[in-house]
Amino acid sequence: MTKDLVGLYADSDALALADLVKKKEVTPSELVETAIQIIEDIDPKLNAVVIKNYEIGRAAAQSEPKGPFGGVPFLLKNIGSHWEGTRVDGGMEYLKDYVCAYDSTLSSRIKEAGFLLLGRTNSPEGGWCIATEPRFYGKTLNPWNPERTPGGSSGGAAAAVVSGMVPLAEASDGGGSIRVPASCCGVVGLKPSRGRITYGPADADFWFGSVYTFACTRTVRDTAAYLDATAGWGAGDPYTPPVPEKSWLELAQAAPRPLKIGFTLDAPFGEPLAPEVAQAVRETASLLEGMGHKLEPYTVKFDLEKAWWDYNDIIAVEMANAMDQSAALVGRPIEQHELAAFNWTMFEYAKTLSAKQYSASIAGIRKANQQLGIELNQFDAFLTPVLTQPPRPVGYWSMEDGDRKRYLARWSDAAYMFAFNISGLPAISLPSTTFANNTPIGIQFVGRMGDEATLLNLATQVEQARPWIGKKPPIHATA
């Protein structure tokens, strides 16, 4: 593989690579072999790709390219999406022998879009962590600064994208797990509106619509085109957000209009914003004002701290149910030594909750959903930090902490993450110009329900004003 092709591949977004394939300037097989070489060369430094399916990508590369991303290498996350014939274990040795027997609807759409699967990226055990440090596979490191977390739970995906392994990788988000690693690694991470991506066909719902599967990307246009390729309602789906008349890619690139944008420099609970984080928000607000948008400071009034604890009651029960389902697959219940200490604590905590308590917690997050929608509906978009603090050191989010309350209290860093999982509002993480500890800091835009178009258009404006695709971490395919 030539050095020129490695550089071209690692510096391009997915649409650019697909265009090269369409023009027959490069073949899908050449892209696949380039991606494999890069993964083999630099992943030992990062531990981002934990399950390899090179044979699937190589075989698919022999077929005629199809779809908007025809011939582009791709990585799934090691949790959630089913791709027939591939392993998925959620970072747990307990499930290491599970092989998908079918394609989820999302995976079918990914195939139709033309992506070529090469493997799965690292995720924390069970996914409920904003770092990526499972016992089974070990820690994923940040390509910018290996002493700092790449975020989680899609830390492997974001690290793979920013280091040049693939231009786009699947990610999912139940409390910031797309947006946090996008922020920590300096890539784009959209969490779509509730119901935008179907859970089908095997599942109708996850965490009352608070889990979203999408991607981390290098560019906003890739995010928009990927949304065009993967979005869509499925029969029996409980949530149906509005759909625009034009494509999201077209809307992302449309002429901008002046927007009313709220912004906040207040942390909902926990520590105040770190100076670097506040700087990132201020810089972005100033940039937007210079573009002609109207900026207004606003502090969220709803009690998000209470909503956080309500949400974790629901998650504890959902996790316990998932472990019961896993036991049916494995043929035996999981034992304490097979789970990280925090996960075992949540498993046991779920057993203490009464139906009345569980119902009250559901009502609590539904009220938060309503109140956040009411409060923010006055704005076309709302600007927040992604994390209230710079990326934490590796180990800070260790799931080996068995003190449930202490572990969950650390999540105050992500108070602006889960809020938009439970509200269902779309939100996108973008790189800012600010760094801390040689690690990127991201900012977040939140939109009205179903209005990804405004977010993508605004994100395109920011990207054009301060492009980030050319910024490379020290651990990169071209380094």
**Strand 188-191, strand 212-217: pairing:** antiparallel
Cα–Cα distances (Å) from 229 to 13, 115, 125, 161, in that order, read 16, 11, 29, 19
Strand bridging mode 188-191 / 168-173: unpaired
Question: Can you tell me the distance from the alpha carbon of 323 to that of 335, in angstroms, rounded to the nearest whole number?
Answer: 11
For 427, the 3-state DSSP assignment is strand
Q: Measure the CA–CA gap between 51 and 369, rounded to whole angstroms.
A: 36
Q: How far is C-alpha 465 from the chain's CA centre? A: 24
**For the chain, which residues score pLDDT lower than 50?**
none
The catalytic residue among 12, 77, 163, 183 is 77
DSSP of 313-326, one letter per residue?
A: HHHHHHHHHHHHHH
Residue in 81, 104, 107, 153 annotated catalytic: 153
Catalytic annotation, pick one of 81, 172, 177, 183: 177
Percentage of residues in the chain having pLDDT higher than 70: 100
**Nearest residue to 429 via CA among 61, 130, 16:** 130
Give catalytic status of residue 177 as yes or no: yes
- Whole-angstrom CA distances from 42 to 2, 28, 35, 98, 160 are 16, 21, 11, 27, 10
Residue 85, burial from CB neighbour count under 10 angstroms (0-12, 13-18, 19+)? middle
Residue 162 class from Cβ within 10 Å (0-12 exposed, 13-18 middle, 19+ buried)?
A: buried
pLDDT for residue 260 = 98
Peptide bond preceding 153: is omega within 30 degrees of 0, i.e. cis? yes
Grouping H, G, I as helix, E, B as strand and the rest as coil, residue 221 is helix
* pLDDT for res 320: 95
pLDDT at 1: 56
Residue 105 tokens read as 């609807």
Q: What is the pLDDT of residues 166-192, one digit of tens each?
A: 999 999 999 999 999 999 999 999 999
Q: Are 48 and 166 spatial neighbours (Cβ–Cβ below 8 Å)? A: no
Helices (H), ranges, 245-354: 248-252, 275-290, 304-330, 341-350
Query: Is 286 among the catalytic positions?
Result: no
- List the strands of the sheet with 116-121, edge to edge: 49-52, 116-121, 73-77, 168-173, 212-217, 188-191, 427-436, 439-447, 381-385, 260-263, 294-297
- Per-residue pLDDT, 4: 87
State which amino acid sits at residue 6: V
Structure tokens at 334: 């999981």
Nearest to 314 by CA among 270, 353, 371: 353
The predicted-structure confidence for 425-473, as pLDDT tens digits, reads as follows 999 999 999 999 999 999 999 999 999 999 999 999 999 999 999 999 9
What is the model's pLDDT at position 202? 87
- What pLDDT score was predicted for residue 373? 96
Amino acid at 74: F
- Residue 201: is the preceding peptide bond cis (ω within 30°)? yes
302 — phi, psi (to 5°)?
Answer: -65, 150
Task: Please tell me the distance from the alpha carbon of residue 243 to that of residue 232, in angstroms, as a whole number.
Answer: 9
Residue-wise over 215-233: b if at least 16 C-beta within 10 A, else e?
A: bbbbbbbbbbbbbbbbbee
User: Pairing relation of β-strands 188-191 and 116-121?
Assistant: unpaired
- The domain made up of 3-465 has a fold known as Amidase signature (AS) enzymes (3.90.1300)
